[in-house]
Amino acid sequence: MTVAPAPAGGVRLRVVSYNIHSQRDDTAALAAVVREAAPDVVIVQEAPRRFRWRQRCATLAESFGLVVAAGGLPSLGNLLLTSLRVRVLATRCQRFPLTPGRHLRGAAYAECAVGGARFLLAGSHLSTDPAERPGQAALLKRELAGAHLPVVLGADLNEGPDGAAWRTVGAGLTDAAVAADAADRHTYSCADPRRRIDALFVDPRVTVVGYDVVDTPLTRRASDHFPVLVDLLLPATA
C-alpha cells in the first residue's frame, strides 16, 4: 500500500470500494479478500438487487464480517456495509432515470459516525454507455453537492480519469489514487488490467493516508475488478 505521513489528530477509517461482479466468481475468495483487508466500511457495486435481495445482501455482509447500512434493490445494486465500529445515522437511495433497453443505475448514501468524526458514505455505479454516463454523473454530483458532511465516495465510473463523467464526479473532491501518487494502478480487468475505472473520492478535509489496488491471486479469483483499499483520516467533529 502507498502510504503518506498521517497528520496528528483526526479519526482513522479504512475503506474498500469493490465491484463484486454480481458474485459470479469465487465467493469464498471474495469473502477472504474483504476479511483480510479488515475494513471499517465497504462500498459495493453489483450487489444483490433482485429476488430475495435483502437476505442475500445480509448474507454477503455476514460473509465479510460486516452489517448492511444501505442500498441493495432501492439503489439498484449499490450497497454500503459497515463494521460495528461505525454508527449509521441516516440513509437514502437514488435511482437514475431509466433508459429503455439498458441496465438501471443508481447510488446509495449513509450518514455515519466513527469516533469523534461524522461523514457521508456514498457509492455509485455509472453506465457502460458513454452517452448516458455524463447525465448520471451530473445527478450524482448534484446529490453530493448538498452534503454538509465530509464525503467519502466509492464508484465504478466505467471510464477513466480522462472521461467527462469522471471529471464531473471528481470536481472539488480528492482522488485518493492521485493523492497517494498511485494513479497508474489499474483496477480493471483482473484478467487483463489496463484501465482505472474504479475510484475513491474524498472531501478535501479528509486526508488520504494509504492507497492500494489489491492485486493478489485471491483477488483475481474473487471478481473481474480489483478492490480499492484506502486508509483515511477524517476530521474530528467539533
Q: What is the mean pLDDT of residues 189-205?
A: 98
* Spatial distance between the Cα atoms of 113 and 70, rounded to a whole number of angstroms: 14
* Spatial distance between the Cα atoms of 198 and 2, rounded to a whole number of angstroms: 17
pLDDT of residue 101: 59
pLDDT of residue 38: 98
Confidence of residue 100 (pLDDT cuts 50, 70, 90): low
Q: What is the mean pLDDT of residues 87-97?
A: 96
Q: Tell me the three cell numbers of residue 117.
A: 468524526
Instruction: Please give the residue that has the higher pLDDT: either 101 or 41.
Output: 41
Question: For the chain, what is the total number of helices (H) and then of strands (E)?
Answer: 6, 13
DSSP 87: E
pLDDT of residue 98: 78
Q: Tell me the three cell numbers of residue 101.
A: 433497453
Per the confidence metrics, is the pTM higher than 0.85? yes
Q: Structural domain boundaries of the chain?
A: 8-234
* Spatial distance between the Cα atoms of 152 and 135, rounded to a whole number of angstroms: 21
> Nearest to residue 22, comparing CAs of 59, 49, 51?
49
Q: Tell me the three cell numbers of residue 139.
A: 445527478
* Contact assessment for residue 232 and residue 207, using Cβ atoms and an 8 Å cutoff: yes
Please give the distance of CA 159 from its chain centroid, rounded to a whole number: 15
Q: Provide the CATH topology of domain 8-234.
A: Deoxyribonuclease I; Chain A (3.60.10)
Q: What is the mean pLDDT of residues 147-174?
A: 98
Residue 212 has pLDDT above 60, yes or no: yes
* Contact assessment for residue 93 and residue 99, using Cβ atoms and an 8 Å cutoff: no
- Rg of the chain over Cα atoms, rounded to whole angstroms, equals 16
Residue 2 has pLDDT above 60, yes or no: no
Element (H, E) at 145: helix 133-145
pLDDT of residue 99: 74
Q: What is the mean pLDDT of residues 71-80?
A: 95
- Amino acid identity, position 140: L
pLDDT of residue 104: 80
pLDDT of residue 146: 92
Crossing angle of helices 27-37 and 53-64, in 10° steps, is: 50
pLDDT of residue 6: 47
Burial of 99 (0-12, 13-18, 19+ CB in 10 A): middle
Angle at 13 between CA 11 and CA 19, to 5 degrees: 160
